Amino acid sequence: MTQQGAVLQGYNNELVKCIEDLCMQKEELNKQIRQAEEEKNKLQHEIQVLSEQLECVCENLAQKVASRNELDKILAETEAAYMKILDSSRTLLNVLKKEVGSLKHTPEQKTN
């Protein structure tokens, strides 16, 4: 019976060691899980901050694009109006030159 008791004690010792090893593995996994959860929470917070920043940048960009489009429209209208002014000035100049030219070719009238 002592031999069986010794064998049983050996099994018991080995079983206790296996249980202790499993407990140590569990604690290590718990530690890794906590670290992973902390990293996940940190990343989620960073994502939220970056999403808010992205939203602000997108809004700012949209406003700037709208302003640029408005300036493009104003610039196009101004350039078109300026071209009309140039055309009118050229026409006026041509008419004036023609009038001045015709005055030079008319005989002078004398007054007594």
| DSSP-assigned letters across all residues of 76-97 | HHHHHHHHHHHHHHHHHHHHHH
pLDDT of residue 1: 72
pLDDT of residue 5: 85
H or E, element range at 1: none
pTM recorded for the entire structure: 0.59
pLDDT of residue 23: 98
Identify the DSSP state of 7.
H
DSSP state string for 31-58: HHHHHHHHHHHHHHHHHHHHHHHHHHHH
- pLDDT tens per residue across span 8-47: 899 999 999 999 999 999 999 999 999 999 999 999 999 9
Q: What is the rounded average pLDDT of the residues 75-97?
A: 97
Q: What is the rounded average pLDDT of the residues 65-85?
A: 98
